[in-house]
Structure 1
Amino acid sequence: MDIRNRLKTTRRNLLGLAAGAAALAIVPFAAQAEDGVLKGKNLAYIAFGLQYEYQVTLVNRVKELAAEKGMSISVYDGKGDPSTQTTQLLDVVSKQPDIILLNPVDAKLLQGGVRKANESGIPLFMLENLPPEGEWVAYNTFDDVAGGAAGADAIAKLIGGKGLVLEVRGAIGSGQSEKRYKGFHDQVAAKYPDIKVETLKAEWTADNAHTLVLDAFTRDPNVAGIWAHNDEMIRGVVSALRQINRLKLAGEEGHVPTVGFDGTPLGLERIREGTQDADVGQNPFSMAESIVGEMENHFAGKPVAKETLIQPVMIWKENVDSPDNWGNRVN
């Protein structure tokens, strides 16, 4: 199967995953489970956005765990939009669920909703982004600073520690993007003085990445490598390189080394094909299992880990097929 057909197939898989997660947002889900402290609890989960494969997998794993624990769950698709999430959070608080799980797009803009949740006494659990103020029971996130540093080390290794690197950045105001930016730039400044970084503000989307990468190559075609804050934007990077006839496979003359972030099935497939060199791997399974475990601890009166950091794992062609990579565990 050629690259284009494989990418289309993987894209259809993502649409199927998203459809399953989105259906959850329409019909609350409940399942039978053994007696436990979470059985019968109503969980409202405001997700970051179901247009992202990592987030879809995270939502689906929380759904599976809710079923195992006997919880009912309603998922709200934040659509990557703080305004949508603000409305959703206020609506959720008015419905008085037993638990709120919140993954903010821009946590600073959700402080009013967080305050309402606190006033209502609903236990609030946080994923990935924290508001500057307010109370929460537990916070679970990926170590994005370490992930950014790992991305810097990977791209430096690929380009020999020198040259122009395009950084395809997520949304300004997003906690994930800000930390990945910091980790990457701090590592470059500390270890790689011969690397110059040009930051492209692509706002997490492949379309923006496509346009901005085209513009960057027009300004300076001597790009040594590309690093992106998520695998979704790498889709746009690949399409831009193809459009200007710069898409060469790893090992071929003229190949532009590319490093992504997330470890999605599509990202892993690109590594196999040679259009992407490496990926900073997250783990939505670990994140989901950890935060639901803290919900159990809270309602059982056991100690709760206030903050949990999940560490990055670098994915290269040598370990791309490992079952430890979450992208190999989803259909």
Structure 2
Amino acid sequence: MRQFLLTSVLTGAAILSFTGSGQAGPMEDAKAIVASHQVMPVFSPPGEAFDAKSCMAGKKVLSIPITMTIPFNVELQKGMAAAAKEVGFTYTTWDNQLKVDQWIQGVSQAISQKYDVLDVAGGLNPEVLGPQLSEARAAGLKISTTHLYDVTQEPFKGIDYASKVDFTEAGRLLAAWAYVKTGGKPNVLIVGSSDVLPSTPFVKSIQAELKTLCPECKQKHLDVPVSEWATKIQSGVQSAVLADSSINFVLPIYDSMAQFVVPALRITGSEGTVKIASFNGTPFVLDMVREGHVQMDIGESLGWAGYAAVDNIMRMMCGLPSASKLNVPLLIFDENNIKTAGIPANFNDGYGDAHLEGFRKLWKLK
């Protein structure tokens, strides 16, 4: 309720200050979207409170991330492990290096050691493990996914509960930001990666919001598979900017892409005039915001995300409804607040710690 009221006040203030009345237009709508993600996150319960310690007593959860060679997955797993420790149940991360045979071994381990839950985390598509997950379910395990699907996507049929992420809202926010920062005249290059499961709805949300705000404005989409980021993003951005000198924003949907966008703008002489905004809150990209190479990055605390993911796993085990999405606020980092992310930046600074007290009360730990 507090978050709703604060957002409402900000939204109303933005509308009145720009129109002098309650009649909102595209610019006021866009500024309201931006303003709602510039306030310090507050905790909103994703569901009813429950006695997590009693419900999870003796339970075992094994999580298989797509790989533990990516810092994002390492931090997400740390958050999940910390939450499990507070509640008091066994939590195991299956270490792997992005190899299918290692994922399969993880499923076999969960079955043979009689785990209660098998979690597929951090971008690993459960369809790759369809037969193995069917075997795990037949053995009595519950199957969950963490930080994979967008809120608009239906999970794979072999999944019991999915901890979804609001990529769609992140897309709307990126579009609104570009619209506001260009004075309502964005010409946007969206850099996507359709081989990553939530990328399609993510890109579509940017495109749809831009069209709503500015039907006549120009937008282009560059699609680059993850395996080709290092070889295709820079050349693709260079070509697009050289072909259309009026491009004024590049929106790489995952912020690690920015490391290949910046050199492209530098080579074309457009660094500074063409701005970059992205999503994820990866520390080295937050450092790029502080250094002025990236204008804005939407962050999400992975410590907070870990607690939210464990909350949804426990709801599955305790017979409660699934949370509609991970209870993780999206926070704008730009020149005004970037120092709060740490120097150098890290995955968790700048968001506050409202989630810790919030989840402890929700789980009746205090």
The TM-score bracket by the shorter chain reads 0.7 to 0.9
SS in 2 for 1:236: helix
SS in 2 for 1:308: coil
SS in 2 for 1:175: coil
Q: Aligned pair in 2 of structure 1 residues 217, 298: CA closer, same or farther (>3 Å)?
A: closer
Q: What is the aligned partner in structure 2 of residue 287 from structure 1?
A: 305
Which residue identity is paired with 1:160?
G
Q: Does structure 1 retain, via aligned residues, the 8 Å contact 2:77–2:93? A: no
CA distances 1:7-54 after superposition (whole Å, capped 9, x unpaired):
xxxxxxxxxxxxxxxxxxxxxxxxxxxx86546644321113445443
Percentage of identical aligned residues: 19
Which residue identity is paired with 1:117?
A
1:241 is displaced (CA, Å) by 1.9
Q: What is the aligned partner in structure 2 of residue 329 from structure 1?
A: 349
**2:226 is equivalent to residue 222 of structure 1:** no
Q: Hey, what's the Cα distance between the residues in 2 that align with 1:99 and 1:311?
A: 26
**2:93 is equivalent to residue 74 of structure 1:** yes
Q: Does structure 2 retain, via aligned residues, the 8 Å contact 1:42–1:72? A: yes
CA distances 1:168-195 after superposition (whole Å, capped 9, x unpaired):
112x243321221121111012111232
Gaps of 5+ in 1: 1-34, 249-254
1:304 is displaced (CA, Å) by 4.3
1:42-191 paired onto structure 2 within 5 Å: 42-68=60-86, 69-77=88-96, 79=98, 83=100, 87=104, 90-92=107-109, 94-95=111-112, 96-103=114-121, 104-127=123-146, 128-129=148-149, 131-136=155-160, 138-170=161-193, 172-191=194-213
CA distances 1:58-82 after superposition (whole Å, capped 9, x unpaired):
1222233344435241324463x7x
SS in 2 for 1:226: strand
1:196 is displaced (CA, Å) by 1.6
1:108 is displaced (CA, Å) by 4.2
Q: Hey, what's the Cα distance between the residues in 1 that align with 2:125 and 2:314?
A: 27
Structure with max Cα Rg: 2
SS in 2 for 1:162: coil
CA distances 1:278-298 after superposition (whole Å, capped 9, x unpaired):
112223222210221234445
Q: Hey, what's the Cα distance between the residues in 2 that align with 1:63 and 1:317?
A: 33
Segment of structure 1 superposing worse, 183-192 or 202-211: 202-211
1:156 is displaced (CA, Å) by 1.5
Q: Hey, what's the Cα distance between the residues in 2 that align with 1:292 and 1:141?
A: 12
Q: Aligned pair in 2 of structure 1 residues 57, 159: CA closer, same or farther (>3 Å)?
A: same
**2:217 is equivalent to residue 198 of structure 1:** no
SS in 1 for 2:347: helix
Q: Hey, what's the Cα distance between the residues in 1 that align with 2:68 and 2:243?
A: 34
Q: Hey, what's the Cα distance between the residues in 2 that align with 1:121 and 1:289?
A: 25
Q: Hey, what's the Cα distance between the residues in 2 that align with 1:237 and 1:84?
A: 34
Length, aligned pairs only: 285
SS in 2 for 1:294: helix
Q: What is the aligned partner in structure 1 of residue 338 from structure 2?
A: 320
Q: Hey, what's the Cα distance between the residues in 2 that align with 1:311 and 1:221?
A: 35
TM score, norm. by length of structure 1: 0.74
Q: Aligned pair in 2 of structure 1 residues 263, 296: CA closer, same or farther (>3 Å)?
A: same
1:113 is displaced (CA, Å) by 3.5
Q: What is the aligned partner in structure 1 of residue 268 from structure 2?
A: 244
Which residue identity is paired with 1:225?
F
Q: Aligned pair in 2 of structure 1 residues 86, 328: CA closer, same or farther (>3 Å)?
A: closer
**2:316 is equivalent to residue 303 of structure 1:** no
Q: Hey, what's the Cα distance between the residues in 1 that align with 2:136 and 2:188?
A: 43
1:244 is displaced (CA, Å) by 3.2
Q: Aligned pair in 2 of structure 1 residues 85, 260: CA closer, same or farther (>3 Å)?
A: farther
Which residue identity is paired with 1:147?
A
1:260 is displaced (CA, Å) by 1.0
Q: Hey, what's the Cα distance between the residues in 2 that align with 1:274 and 1:169?
A: 23
Q: What is the aligned partner in structure 2 of residue 264 from structure 1?
A: 282
Which residue identity is paired with 2:320?
P
Q: Hey, what's the Cα distance between the residues in 1 that align with 2:214 and 2:107?
A: 46
Q: Hey, what's the Cα distance between the residues in 1 that align with 2:325 and 2:137?
A: 21
Which residue identity is paired with 1:293?
D
1:142 is displaced (CA, Å) by 1.9
Which residue identity is paired with 2:304?
S
Q: Hey, what's the Cα distance between the residues in 1 that align with 2:275 and 2:67?
A: 29
CA RMSD of aligned residues (A): 3.0
Q: Hey, what's the Cα distance between the residues in 1 that align with 2:186 and 2:309?
A: 41
Q: Does structure 1 retain, via aligned residues, the 8 Å contact 2:116–2:140? A: no
Q: Does structure 1 retain, via aligned residues, the 8 Å contact 2:250–2:277? A: yes
CA distances 1:266-312 after superposition (whole Å, capped 9, x unpaired):
2221111111111122232222102212344455x363434334442
